[in-house]
Chains A and B, each alone.
Chain A
Amino acid sequence: MKRTGAEIILDSLVAHGVHTVFGYPGGACLPLYDALYHYQDRINHILVRHEQGAAFAADGYARASGDVGVCIATSGPGVTNLVTGIAGAHMDSVPVVALTGQVPRNLLGTDGFQETDATGVMLPVTKHNWLVMNAEELPRVMEEAFHIANTGRKGPVQVDVPKDVYLEEVEFDSVPPLSIRGYNPEEGLQPDPTLVREAAEVIHGSEKPIILAGHGIHYSGAYEELLAFAEKANIPVITTLHGVSSFPESHDLSFGMVGMHGNIYANWAVDRADLLISLGMRFDDRVTGRLEDFATEARIIHVDIDPAEIGKNVNTDVGIVADLKPTIRALIDEIGQLDHSPWVKQICQWREDHPSLAIRETEIVLPQWVIRQIYHITNGEAVVVTDVGQAQMWAAQHFWYDRRNTFFSSGGLGAMGYAFPASIGVKYARPNEQVWCIIGDGGFQMTLQDLAVVKEHNVDVKIAIINNNHLGMIRQWQTLFYDSRFMSAKLENPDFVKLAEAYGLTGMRATTKSDVVKVLKEAEKIPGPVVMDLVVDEVEKVYPMVPAGSSLAETIEGDEVQEARYA
């Protein structure tokens, strides 16, 4: 059967169950869009208003659905605009296929109009990428692209296709069987039984163990296993930022998040533990604080699907390269019913004495309090997508996540502007759930042009701008570490309500606590997107905090100035 390159690509999307893609057309990928015209019944193309939004939306879609997210951009500026989103997906191991157009083959290397070395630019921020020089290669490349993106340690891939290759007609009957001799992720799924036994022995010998749950729990879908393991071994569970919503936070063994803005009792617990059972996390510097002083008394069991993560940042006592699900199952079988109640009690005592998540009674609107209201008003059922900075940390801290995989954030890359487009992707993946985008006034202005997208498609995303009229985290750092020399921290903001209205959307502002409650309740009832300008105190800092270069033991609980302000 004769098929064009573009048709082969779209057939492949359909075959892989892709029904929503996010993209932006341009000269070099017009043939792909022309083919899409005939696939509209099978593939829903969402026209974003900037390619970065396409990458973020595909990322959000992938995280929320467990499937591969797909984004499309043209050559040159199209692909360079994708880079931030793809780099974020790479840092956070999110399966995304980026389809990018390229100048025709005869112009390659001639500095043609809108030519960029697209595979060169994307190389360090993708798991793999291809420049496809013949349409005959496309069936194989597309198959490999989906396979590589969504197996092993997941990640984004890019398929760069010259304009004339989209148009090239070739004989195509069936997709060739996968055969990539340098890539065998299925070999690394089952844990080595000897290592599991070793790990179990180490666990039995521990009095103060901690489970550190990371992003891998979500990717492996090892929620039941984590819960059963924690309960059988009676071990406190502490999560990384990406581990949030992998373990029910109302559980007696849950102690929230660790790291730079982790709970003080969680940080102390990790600092004083004699064993860390690290599941699908990678000891990022935001987690460990000063590495030399990280968990100095602890032995470390590290389970990860990526062999290169074992021993990369910390030395491990037992390193297991495997999928978490079978590994935790094997661990459960290997260990007996354990009791660590004195240790659990100790951490509970710390929590009682140092309640990191207590919110001060104030008249003024505190951002933490706003997050807590969102939690209450949505009965904790919202799916939360956060941006980067203060609002991100408050959303991680003060919304309590009991439901699985309901917290999405740009973690590794920390890309401002992520939350809003990502929340569009999340909503497409989970149309029946409430999606709340919690974002700062700074981050929102990085990608707000997609307001046109939520209007056009009535994408029901609740946009809660935690508006302190500042780049809050910048202000916080300048306050703490630069003697309050505020440089480019204050934002002269537009009227977000009018802005929403200009896009034909509902906008609401709240400046008092009673207004906040009213606005949130109203927004929750409106069946469609809403922009909420929630004006909060501009001075409030995120605590607890581990200053950069300090250890978890040196976590700062708060500051007296802040405490005294509304006392």
Chain B
Amino acid sequence: MRHVLIADVEDQPGVLNRIASLFRRRAYNIESLAVGHSHRPGISRMTIVVAEDHKEAIQVAKQLDKLIEVISVTDVTEQRHVSREMALAKIAAPEMKRTEILQLANVYRAQVVDVSPGSIILEVTGDEDKIDSFVEIIRPYGILELSRTGEVAMVRGRAMPAPTLMAEDGPAA
């Protein structure tokens, strides 16, 4: 099953290396990893999607949490959360097809970010399913390039991700 982890980490060189090294060494299956600045100075937020069962996902989170530069890790899979991914797709768009493509783009609320002779770049945001479906729909027109960001996630409401994992240390399911 897919698990979505949110990790707040020190914004320092080498942190990504440590995390990547951990995943490689322990052979965790990583689906996507997105990282960027958080609202707090000096802290980056990572959203990590792993393809592991519940027990393994707990292990992943605990092992991540052991890294000194990882400040907190939360598995938000079971919490109410929103998640978004962005994709840029460059599509072959001869003039005769352009309107058709733009209509489809509209359905997905995709933005046109570049129009050039013979091609068009669309920007689309949404959860993984939406992006997948968008990609399938436009594929027949000819995707010249596709670039996806990986998922970023946030818990709904005022709740912050729980700072530690201690609550989940009970019997493994």
Contacts and interface: CB of A to CB of B under 8 A. Distances in A.
Are A and B part of the same complex? yes
Interface of A: 119-120, 123-124, 127-128, 131, 148, 153, 180-183, 187-188, 306-308, 310-312, 315-319, 321
Interface of B: 9-10, 14, 17-18, 21, 25, 55, 58-59, 62-63, 65-72, 164-166, 169-172
A410 B10 CA distance: 34
B68 A148 contact: yes
A307 B62 contact: yes
Contacts of B164: 187
A182 B68 contact: yes
A310 B169 contact: yes
A319 B66 contact: no
B63 A308 contact: yes
A128 B69 CA distance: 9
A66 B118 CA distance: 71
Contact of B59 (A123, A127, A308): A308
Nearest to B18: A123
Given A182-B9, A308-B63, A315-B171, A128 B55 contact: no
18 contacts: A128-B68, A131-B14, A181-B10, A181-B71, A182-B67, A182-B69, A182-B70, A182-B71, A183-B68, A188-B166, A307-B169, A308-B63, A308-B66, A310-B169, A311-B58, A312-B59, A319-B170, A321-B166
Contacts of A307: 62, 65-66, 165-166, 169
B12 to A, nearest CB: 10
Contacts of A312: 59
Contact of A319 (B17, B59, B169): B169
A308 B17 CA distance: 20
Contacts of A311: 55, 58-59, 169, 171-172
Nearest to A128: B68
Nearest to A181: B71
B171 A182 contact: no
Nearest to B64: A308
Given A124-B25, A308-B59, A316-B171, 12 more contacts: A123-B21, A124-B21, A180-B68, A182-B9, A182-B10, A182-B69, A188-B166, A307-B65, A307-B165, A308-B63, A319-B169, A319-B171
B20 to A, nearest CB: 10
A131 B69 CA distance: 14
Residue in A182, A188, A311 whose Cβ sees the most chain B Cβ within 10 Å: A182
Contacts of B55: 311
Task: List the 8 shortest-distance A-B pairs measured between CB atoms, nearest first.
Answer: A308-B62, A311-B172, A182-B71, A128-B68, A183-B68, A315-B172, A307-B62, A181-B71
Contacts of B17: 120, 123
B53 to A, nearest CB: 12
Nearest to B25: A124
A92 B69 CA distance: 22
B145 to A, nearest CB: 32
Nearest to B9: A182
Contacts of B14: 119, 131
Nearest to B59: A312
Nearest to A311: B172
A129 B58 CA distance: 25
